[in-house]
Amino acid sequence: MLASFLRLPLYGWSLALPILGAMTATDTRPQRIVFALCMSVPFHVILSVVNDLADIEVDRGDPRKAGRPLVSGTISSGVALAVIVWAVVFAFLMDPIVLGFDMDRLLVLFLAFASTAAYNIAGKRTPVPPFMDFLQGVGAAAFAYYGAQAAGEATRDSLLVAVAITVFITFINGVHAGLRDLSSDYSYGARTTPVLFGARPSATDGPHIPRGLVVYAWCLQVLLASLTLGPFLSYSANEGLSWLTAIVGLGFGVASFASLYLSLNSRSEMSRRYIFAGVQLLTGFGMVALLAGGRSGGPVAVAVFTLVLFPLIVRRLARRIGSARRKLAHR
């Protein structure tokens, strides 16, 4: 119940953001890096609990989410609100105590929390859903940049990684996440980017994906690849690039483009589209991690990529084990 309430399988993402920021910082100190990682806990509360609290009515129409503690009533809205208040107070009280008062850093932290919360509360209720996707991207990017500030000194690379994260989240949330939740969002009347482009659920097959949404997705994919893989073309031409990093970059890039094509291919089965969307999400994040690692960052990018992937694999294995146990119990 606690794992579902806090969305623990997604915690790897919240933990990866300050790591990406710290990877680009200078004058870092171990104790400051550890604190930046600890701040991922209150950020994750804002990312997950606020979202579930704001979308209770929408989620009640989605069978996949009916068992979540807030939706089912196992955990009350009052308890969720208390956890959110704790997260905000903890973050903004501990930062100046541990790291010293710095208005710029606190403003970036405020931007991370406020943008993420604003998307969760109003993301599906405005006439401009692409902007709300962008706003969520700003929240994630600000928290990564905060990671750089908390760990040491933010650099130009910190800003570039923040821009790449903004594009990545705008893309993933506006395309894959929107299509995943299309049925419940559409029936509830929520306003999301796929709905805006004309996507509609189907009772017999996967959702109808309009050409405009496909073009939108490919434009963001090309922009993301340019921001993340573009610098490595410059490195390889001017200063050289390690073979391992080149192989990792090529693998992430090819897999990201191929999985995007397969996830939006109307001829593919819905289950396969969902799998390819997950692959595209992970490999797109891998490109961002590669950018944060720099010209020799192949191994680091793989490590951060694994950090995000591992809890998702654990969740899938736990579901399969639970399903197998239920089948055995009915025999």
Interval 68-109: pLDDT, tens = 888 877 888 899 999 999 999 999 999 999 999 999 999 999
Residue 224 in this model has a pLDDT that exceeds 90: yes
Work out the percent of the chain whose per-residue pLDDT is above 90.
Answer: 56
**What's the pLDDT score for residue 204?**
63
**What's the pLDDT score for residue 71?**
80
Give the start-end residues of each E strand in the chain.
none
Distance CA 303, CA 293 (A): 10
Q: What angle do CA 218, 209, 133 make, to 5 degrees?
A: 60
Name the phi and psi angles at 248, rounded to 5: -65, -45
DSSP bridge pairs for 208:
200
**What's the pLDDT score for residue 296?**
64
Among 128-137, 148-157, 215-224, 290-299, whose mean pLDDT is lowest? 290-299
Residue 53 or 221, more confident: 221
Residue 277 in this model has a pLDDT that exceeds 70: yes
Which tokens belong to 229?
């893989």
- The stretch 146-165 carries a mean pLDDT of 96
The helix/strand/coil state of 208 is strand
Residue 58 in this model has a pLDDT that exceeds 80: no
Name which of 245, 240, 253 is nearest 296 in CA terms.
245
Distance CA 17, CA 19 (A): 5
Residue 293 or 256, more confident: 256
Among 51-55, 127-131, 224-228, whose mean pLDDT is lowest? 51-55
The helix/strand/coil state of 153 is strand
Residue with tokens 């291919």: 265
Which tokens belong to 144?
């990564």
**What's the pLDDT score for residue 86?**
96
Residue 318 in this model has a pLDDT that exceeds 80: no
**What's the pLDDT score for residue 72?**
79
Residue 36 or 201, more confident: 36
Residue 135 or 188, more confident: 135
pLDDT band at 238 (very low <50, low <70, confident <90, very high): low
Residue 141 in this model has a pLDDT that exceeds 80: yes
For the whole prediction, is pTM greater than 0.85?
yes
Residue 7 falls in which region: left (phi positive, over 0), alpha (psi -120 to 50) or beta? left
pLDDT band at 205 (very low <50, low <70, confident <90, very high): low
pLDDT band at 157 (very low <50, low <70, confident <90, very high): very high
